[in-house]
Amino acid sequence: MKEFKVTPIRNGTVIDHISSGMALKVLRIVGVKDNVSSTVSVLMHVPSKKMGWKDIVKIEDRELDPKELDKIALISPNATINIIRDYNVAEKFVVEVPNVIKGIMRCANPGCITNQNEPVETEFVVESKKPITLRCLYCDRVTAEVAENIQ
Amino acid sequence: MSGSFEGTDVVSIRDFSREQIEHVLKLAEKMMPIAKGEEKSVLLERHVLGSLFYEPSTRTRLSFDAAMTRLGGRVLGFDQPTGASVVKGETLADTIRMVDSYSDVIVLRHPQEGAARLAAHFASRPVINAGDGAGQHPTQTMLDLFTIRKEKKKIDGNQVVIVGDLKYGRTVHSLSEALALFGAELTFVAPPSLQIPKEHLKQIESMGHKPRISSSLEDVIGDADVLYVTRIQKERFPDPAEYAKVAGTYRIDLNMLKDVKKDMIIMHPLPRVGEIAPEVDETEHARYFEQAFNGVPVRMALLGLVMGGLK
């Protein structure tokens, strides 16, 4: 008999193939705090045929918006999103790193104008997707430190 | 490419192709008699330049003023942020939107990197970056290229030795990329702690060049067609004695120049603080004052282009 460490969910989202160790950052991105009304399950360091080790996050009764998906793609470019409706996988896709990142990260350069109190969204050009490197459209600083700078 | 400059922002030298930069340099050459006051021009008559200098600057600000005035235009603005709305807490975005409505072109010097790109985002008029923190200073790069081309008749094939603070020096990074774009050979001379950053080196190598790296100016100065000297800032050194030692090693004096090519030229973005001995000013090599003057015709060409007076 197949053993489930975490039971299947009825409705919601399963974020699978999260890079090992990134699950807590994913929780921060999707905004899981004290006030959630549904169950959130986190599996860390799960054996994976594809990746060796992976993390999984299951969020009941919730589907993610495009900005959240972009953020997850930045910290875990191989993550797969399974949207579950009535116990069935209604949609399944791999997150995609966009070519331009708008407003979801701050610039790693403390001297960058976007870190001042200016009414402007940050904007980064994705110079490379694997590994991810981003160039600030304003100050030209190139950074690979994505997880630390996600807002 | 004629006409394509009107309304264009001048934020980073990387935004321009070699052909576009060459076009600016050619027009700057034509501006020479007007820049020297030998000919009169009304090209930008009834035009207003909004000049916003959040940081002190002598050459850049005055040469923009001179360029605009020589073309018959007017300049308004400030040369230090005290008294400006910035001390009252106004955002740069708001100041830009205001000045945008008072003027036909905005020239901005700001301590924060990316400030010019932000200004261009909020302004409907063209924005010219006059230096943003440790970031870009494209008109300096253009006047440096102009000076080399004028003095050596061409840029490609020249051996350009760049010495000084190559790590933090604002002008060095965009200049070296532009020189590589134009086919000049580069040598970087600095103490290891102030050598050119790896990512810049990579960028230049990706353009098919293999710059030389050295910590000894004596070893390479004999090959130089152009010696580009920059300031080594005291505050980069925790130990004043170490600073004095390093600064002394790269000081250009008559003794340092005894085995150089006869037609080698020395450039410096100025201000200098002892990197070049005053006795060098009288030699046939010194070109830094001409270089500072060249800021006027180059900025005239750019102002004319972005406001549509020149094609």
- CA torsion through residues B158, B163, B165, B169, sign: negative
Give A74 to chain B, closest Cα distance, Å. Answer: 22
Q: Reply yes or no on domain B13-136+292-306 having CATH 3.40.50.1370.
A: yes
10 Å Cβ neighbour count for A121? Answer: 12
Q: What is the pTM of this model?
A: 0.89
Which residues have a Cβ under 8 Å from the Cβ of B255 and sit 6 or more positions away?
none
Q: Which of B142, B123, B4 is nearest to B60 (CA)?
A: B142
Residue B137 annotated in active site:
yes
Instruction: Closest CB to A109: pick one of B14, B113, B136.
Output: B113
So what's the architecture of B139-291 in CATH? 3-Layer(aba) Sandwich (3.40)
Chain B residue numbers with beta carbons less than 8 Å from the beta carbon of A142 are 199
Query: What is the pLDDT, as a whole number, of residue B241?
Result: 85
Is B162 within 8 Å of B189 (Cβ atoms)? Answer: yes
Output the average pLDDT for chain A: 90
Residue with the larger pLDDT of the pair B135 and B62: B62
* Contact (CB<8Å) B112/A109: no
User: What are the chain A neighbours of B132 within 8 Å (beta carbons)?
Assistant: 113, 139
Could you give the 3-state DSSP secondary structure of residue B1?
coil
> Does the distance separating the beta carbons of A138 and B134 come in below 8 Å?
no
What is the sign of the dihedral through the CA atoms of B218, B219, B224 and B230? Answer: negative
CATH 3.40.50.1370 placement within chain B: 13-136+292-306, 139-291
pLDDT digits (tens, 9 = 90+) for B232-244: 877 777 788 888 8
A73 and A44, same domain (yes or no)? yes
SS3 A75: helix
Name the domain count of chain A. Answer: 2
Same domain, A136 and A107: yes
The range of the structural domain enclosing residue A40 comes to: 12-94
Residues A63 and A111 in one domain: no
pLDDT exceeds cutoff 50 at B50: yes
Report percent pLDDT > 70 for chain B.
Answer: 98
Contacts of B51 (CB under 8 A, 6+ apart): B61, B64, B65, B75, B76, B77, B78, B79, B107
Chosen domain end from A73, A94, A115: A94
Q: What is the tens place of the pLDDT at every residue in A73-110?
A: 999 999 999 999 999 999 999 999 999 999 989 999 99
* Residue of B112, B121, B199 lying closest to A111 (CB–CB): B112
| Catalytic site includes residue B88 | yes
* Residues B185-243 pLDDT 10s: 999 999 988 899 888 898 899 999 999 999 999 999 999 999 999 988 777 777 888 88
pLDDT at B82: 73
pLDDT at residue B247 in the model: 82
Return the structure tokens found at B120: 């261009």
Strands A123-129 and A132-136: antiparallel
With 90 as the cut, is the pLDDT of residue B67 above it?
yes
A2, part of any domain:
no
Give domain status of residue A29, yes or no: yes
B303: nearest Cα among B37, B51, B14, B100: B51
> With a cut of 70, which residues of chain A have pLDDT below it?
1-5, 34
**Per-residue model confidence (pLDDT) at position B203:** 86
d(CA B127, nearest CA chain A) in Å: 14
Q: Residue B151 — pLDDT band, cuts 50, 70, 90?
A: very high
Per-residue model confidence as pLDDT tens digits over B276-291? 999 999 999 999 999 9
A129 within some domain: yes
With respect to residue A3, please indicate whether it lies within any of the assigned structural domains. Answer: no
Residue B170 in this model has a pLDDT that exceeds 70: no
pLDDT band at B162 (very low <50, low <70, confident <90, very high): very high
Q: Is A54 within the bounds of a domain?
A: yes
Domain containing A35 — which CATH number? 3.30.70.140
Q: Do residues A89 and A104 share a domain?
A: no
Residue B1: per-residue pLDDT: 43
**Who contacts B40 (Cβ-Cβ below 8 Å, separation ≥6)?**
B34
Inter-chain CB proximity A141 and B118 less than 8 Å: no
Span B58-67, mean pLDDT? 95
- Do A70 and A33 lie in a common domain? yes
Instruction: Say if residue A115 is in the same domain as residue A55.
Output: no
Average pLDDT, chain B: 92
pLDDT at B2 over 50: no
Q: Answer whether residue B75 shows pLDDT above 60.
A: yes
Question: Which of B12, B112, B117 lies nearest to residue A116, judging by beta carbons?
Answer: B112
- The reported pLDDT for the residue numbered B117 is 97
Interface test with A, best of B85, B86, B117, B173 (most A CBs within 10 A): B117
Task: Report if residue A137 sits inside a domain.
Answer: yes
CATH number for the domain spanning A140: value is 2.30.30.20
A6 in a structural domain: no
ipTM over 0.90: no
Which of the four pLDDT bands, split at 50, 70 and 90, describes residue B133?
Answer: confident
Q: Which residue has the tokens 């190559």?
A: B166
Cis peptide before A131 (omega within 30 of 0): yes
CB contact under 8 A, B136 and A109: no
Residue B245 has pLDDT above 90, yes or no: no
Give the type of residue at A135.
Answer: R
**A84 and A123 part of one domain:** no
